Structure 1
């Protein structure tokens, strides 16, 4: 079983999403982990000149993909978007059929660790500004995957809230790894 770990936070060791992705990977207990840090080693933005086939191959070869997705300005980091642009490929991860788009990658597990400075849960005043979980559900659903989420919210509220939120999210990683 191969695990592909994608980190996209620019905050290094202070990153809550990196803490969560590492905890998830550790709990999965796999020896075969491929690691990609798209913040430290960013992919160029997509152009007409072709794909980075090795990025798509890396994604397709993984049984489980663990993604760290911090919320920056209400959505994912552009570095993560550049990676996603490499894995959404017509004829390889999706196709258009008589009934519309069809995902071709439904046999893969995707776990996303989301880190948010505020509260964006349904019913909260800022819920309409949440474009990390909703975007990633749509993207992965388009290629046939139902992603799982571990979410740490309210990280910028204060140190106690940050600690509690990370502790709670780490507890969720135990459930996901079971």
Structure 2
């Protein structure tokens, strides 16, 4: 198995502030599935990603993750298009609980600012991300691969491997 990617402090800060996040997977037949995350976060050390998706909208995606474990999340800053993609082959699923509500609220507030910067009001974001906590599923994974996907000459470049830590 390859070394985990070194997610830069800049990428971690971008993800933690709450930017657009799209979660994808694939079925056993390699057919892709994807869904907008209703919230997303990464641990300060870059070793655990959390994404919340709406169960009713993400049925195929959740089925595919359960069957294959494969997951990819693309995090993109709407105003600058600065983008990073993190992937893993072993994602875990669990129902969201009230303990996940602060992440949901923090993400909503951030996305109101992010989407507001490109000209859409908070009502648009609230409608796009409206979901009760009990209707969400949490996807968690340790990134195994990472890519800079910002448009430009480095698009698609792999993030360097994380230094081995004893």
| TM-score of the two chains, using structure 2 as the length reference | 0.27
**Structure of greater relative contact order (alpha carbons < 8 Å, 6+ residues apart):** 2
| TM-score of the two chains, using structure 1 as the length reference | 0.25
Bigger-Rg structure (1/2): 1
* Greater helix fraction, Structure 1 or Structure 2: 1
